[in-house]
Structure 1
Amino acid sequence: MSAVGLIVEYNPLHNGHVHHYTRAKEISGAEYSVAILSGPFLQRGEPGIVSKFARAEMALAMGADLVIELPAAYAVQPAEWFAYGGVALLHATGVVDSLCFGTESGTLDLLLPLSRILAEESQELQEEISFYLRAGMNYPAAYSRAAAAAAGYPGEESEVLQILQKPNHTLGLHYLIALHRLKSPIRPFTIPRIHAGYHDEMPAHSAIASATAVRRMLLEQDLSAAAPYLPESTLQILSREFREGRGPVTWDSFRGTLMHILLTSSPQELESLHEVTEGLEHRLRRLIYSLKQPQVDELLKALKTKRYTHTKLQRMLTHILLRHTKEQMSPSALSQGPGYLRVLGFSRGGQKLLKTMKKTASLPVIVKPSSFEHPQLTLDLRASAAYANAFPGPEVHHIFRDYMEAPIRTFD
């Protein structure tokens, strides 16, 4: 039994994802596939356009055999912890023997040796990162500079620095670092992104567009505009979710709740929350009063500086919305790894994987969240409830769906 692992968000699942899935099965030679899927809130600090259940359904319709939720503690994090959480879950299944991810280059020639060097997290590397942060760089830029220097490739023209300025290379590097730290036997593979860049806002191909471009079409136009870039199963699921009032979900869906928290919290209360750093608690309170309209997008624009990336600020707002404390998200807490394997859905092949995992998994396999307790799971359930509560007409069934429904099963 061989299975390839995919760490995904599917926001929403589009034709580029289908290409990735198909090639992953081909180059790994795997019989089965396991998708680690972010929950309601995603790595860049934004809500999923539809729920984790709908996105898990998309994955299964594409062909994935088993969908496991990436806990919120790791899903809304910088690349290092997002990657560590996803790889740790794949490793813990005991059935995944390969991992396939997309990169801009489609090669591991530089990433593999670099990951071996950086897996040690030397004091020198940390000092280099701190140096560049003090110079006014944001964290991604500071890490890239420090990593290139640690690998012996300093300077503006460094090949290492150039590749780490690409988001999928950075994420891929952290997948490889996580494999080293876990001493995992999982074999890594990569395939090149085709026809669309990570941040491309407009499609440049007739059938493949970035998730960013697809979301833009869905939000600014309609389903028909995005249709050429989506598999039919995704179209049907999105149509159903939108029709029944469960999407599209955006930051504006949480405007009232977020603004209430910001207006009624003291600076000290805000400062205790994850990613509220370096006086941002005071900047938040000050800028709210200067906004023309109490909109999340307006707040993000006002907060944005060279020091803070848009993504960093979005993640901070997500942690404020969900009341994630610094203690809950500390490096010492996250380094312990995920505490369970939460099953969102499975196919007939996934049912076979689950049967094998009863013997091979190194973490509890959770099918019914109500039967298991863990601090990370509590955060997941709260995040799902907060997400569903933002629907235009939320129902109790949607808010507590984690408790009320079994995992999705596709036995076609």
Structure 2
Amino acid sequence: MRTVGLIVEYNPFHNGHLYHLQQSRKITEADAVVAVMSGHFLQRGEPALLDKWSRTRMALRGGCDLVIELPVAYATQAAEWFAYGAVSLLEATGVVDSFCFGTESGELQPLLQAAELTAHESPGFKALLKRELQSGISYPGAYSAAISAHLSEQGYASAANFPFALPNHTLALHYLLALNRIGGKMRPYTIAREKAQYNQAEVTDSQIASATAIRKLLLEERELDAVRSFVPESTFRILQEEWAAGRCPVSWEQFTNPLLHAIVTRSAPMLSELHEINEGLEHRILQTLPKLDSLLFEKLLQTLKTKRYTRTKLQRALLAILLGHAKADFTAEKLASGIEYIRVLGFTDKGRQLLRRMRVSAKLPVLLSAARAPRPFAYLELDVQASSVFMLGRSREADPASLFRDYTDKPVTHP
């Protein structure tokens, strides 16, 4: 059974995702689709619009056969570790032959060349990166510029002019770097994004909109029908169910009070011990709070924001405070050691067949629930904690049982 892997957030699953899934299956001639999906908190340091089980239902009804979870330790990271965790998990299943990702250009060759040349970061490349960082630009921008300069020095003039700094190109490059670094066997493919780009907040098409634009419609207009034409009917029905039950849309504002509690009960030295808190950010956060004219998350974010501290950087830092993620647990050495298990969120009948094959092929234990873990896994414990925080923030009247759904819920099945 040929199987293609996808790296997704599905926040929520929309028509663009459906196109990508269908095209991925087509160009790889795959019989099955495995998605590695972020859980309750996402790569840009924000909570998901809906819980991970609802998004798993969307994925299965949209055509995925098996959904596995990318632990929060990797799901909320910048491109390098986000990609490393996701690619490692797909490779560890032992059943995924290829993986397919969206890019702005649909070109693969320049990305492959860049990944091959820089996977192990030669002294020459590190010197270029250091030079770019000293110019004062952001790390992603510096990395992209160093890649281009390195390719040019190595005689790859055409690839050197490739726009590596575009968001999907950056992620794609890191997927390929991860594949090189782990010695993965999966074959990579890419598809050009159509009609709406990754972080495009405006709607410019009658049927295709980015997840960013869809979330904006839901959170700002508070009108579910406004997104109906941009999502498959199966997604819309799940949105209706969760909306009627008061379980979506979820946003950062619902976590403002617990976040502020986590900040004001820590001193600057205590904050500095948390992941993503560096370069004096702990002092800026504590000095900013008394200056706010309202205790809204967006107000805090806008007041903190500078050229040095971007929105995404700040969201990841504030999320680390909310979740209590310590620097010591997120060192490069620990992250490079990888994930120790494969957590299954849902599957179809075909996905069940893949799971049978994984009993033999998987390089890691396959978990159908946190309660079935053969031993304590540090990243799994962080996921359980993150789920509890998400459930508390999602509703003022959280069901006590919902706090520990990771232990009690079975994987979602479809049909």
Shorter-chain TM-score: what band? over 0.9
In structure 1, the residue corresponding to 2:163 is in which secondary structure? Answer: helix
8 A contact 1:5–1:96 mirrored in 2: yes
In structure 2, the residue corresponding to 1:194 is in which secondary structure? Answer: coil
Residue type of the partner of 2:257? G
Cα offset for 1:238? 1.1
Residue 169 of structure 2 corresponds to which residue in structure 1?
169
In structure 1, the residue corresponding to 2:54 is in which secondary structure? Answer: helix
Distance in 2, Cα, partners of 1:349 & 1:44: 32
Which ranges of 4 or more aligned residues in structure 1 deviate by more than 6 Å? Answer: none
Residue 100 of structure 1 corresponds to which residue in structure 2?
100
Cα offset for 1:158? 8.4
The percent identity for this pair of structures is 47
8 A contact 1:144–1:161 mirrored in 2: no
In structure 2, the residue corresponding to 1:152 is in which secondary structure? Answer: helix
In structure 1, the residue corresponding to 2:97 is in which secondary structure? Answer: strand
CA RMSD of aligned residues (A): 1.4
Residue 353 of structure 1 corresponds to which residue in structure 2?
354
Q: Structure 2 matches for 1:41-190, cutoff 5 A? A: 41-152=41-152, 160=160, 163-190=163-190
Query: What is the total number of aligned residue pairs between the two structures?
Result: 409
Residue 388 of structure 1 is aligned with which of 387, 391, 412?
Answer: 391
Residue type of the partner of 2:275? H
Residue 324 of structure 1 corresponds to which residue in structure 2?
325
Residue 272 of structure 1 corresponds to which residue in structure 2?
273
* More deviation, 66-75/162-171: 162-171
Distance in 2, Cα, partners of 1:160 & 1:315: 31
Cα offset for 1:143? 1.1
Which segments of 5 or more consecutive residues in structure 1 lack a partner in the other structure?
none
Residue 294 of structure 1 corresponds to which residue in structure 2?
295
In structure 2, the residue corresponding to 1:99 is in which secondary structure? Answer: strand
Q: Structure 2 matches for 1:183-332, cutoff 5 A? A: 183-221=183-221, 222-332=223-333
8 A contact 2:34–2:66 mirrored in 1: yes
Distance in 1, Cα, partners of 2:124 & 2:309: 24
Residue 378 of structure 1 is aligned with which of 374, 378, 381?
Answer: 381
Distance in 2, Cα, partners of 1:345 & 1:66: 6
8 A contact 1:346–1:408 mirrored in 2: yes
8 A contact 2:148–2:162 mirrored in 1: no
Distance in 2, Cα, partners of 1:141 & 1:159: 17
Distance in 2, Cα, partners of 1:129 & 1:113: 18
* More deviation, 212-221/144-153: 144-153
Distance in 1, Cα, partners of 2:76 & 2:125: 24
Which digits, 9 at most, give the CA deviation of each residue in 1:232-291, with x for residues without a partner? Answer: 111111111121121111000100000111111101110000110111011110011111
Cα offset for 1:86? 0.3
Distance in 1, Cα, partners of 2:404 & 2:246: 16
In structure 2, the residue corresponding to 1:110 is in which secondary structure? Answer: helix
Distance in 2, Cα, partners of 1:140 & 1:161: 16
Which digits, 9 at most, give the CA deviation of each residue in 1:130-151, with x for residues without a partner? Answer: 3333322111111111121222
Distance in 1, Cα, partners of 2:173 & 2:265: 40
Residue 339 of structure 2 corresponds to which residue in structure 1?
338
Residue 411 of structure 2 corresponds to which residue in structure 1?
407
8 A contact 1:103–1:190 mirrored in 2: yes
Distance in 2, Cα, partners of 1:296 & 1:131: 35
Distance in 1, Cα, partners of 2:314 & 2:123: 27
Which digits, 9 at most, give the CA deviation of each residue in 1:203-232, with x for residues without a partner? Answer: 111100011111111112211011100111
Residue type of the partner of 1:401? R
Residue type of the partner of 1:397? A
Distance in 1, Cα, partners of 2:115 & 2:309: 26
Distance in 2, Cα, partners of 1:75 & 1:134: 28
Cα offset for 1:159? 6.1
Distance in 1, Cα, partners of 2:389 & 2:142: 34
In structure 1, the residue corresponding to 2:307 is in which secondary structure? Answer: coil
Which digits, 9 at most, give the CA deviation of each residue in 1:337-364, with x for residues without a partner? Answer: 1111000000000000000000000000
8 A contact 1:148–1:158 mirrored in 2: no
In structure 1, the residue corresponding to 2:345 is in which secondary structure? Answer: strand
TM-score scaled by structure 2? 0.96
8 A contact 1:145–1:161 mirrored in 2: no
8 A contact 1:136–1:306 mirrored in 2: no
Distance in 1, Cα, partners of 2:329 & 2:209: 36
8 A contact 1:10–1:17 mirrored in 2: yes
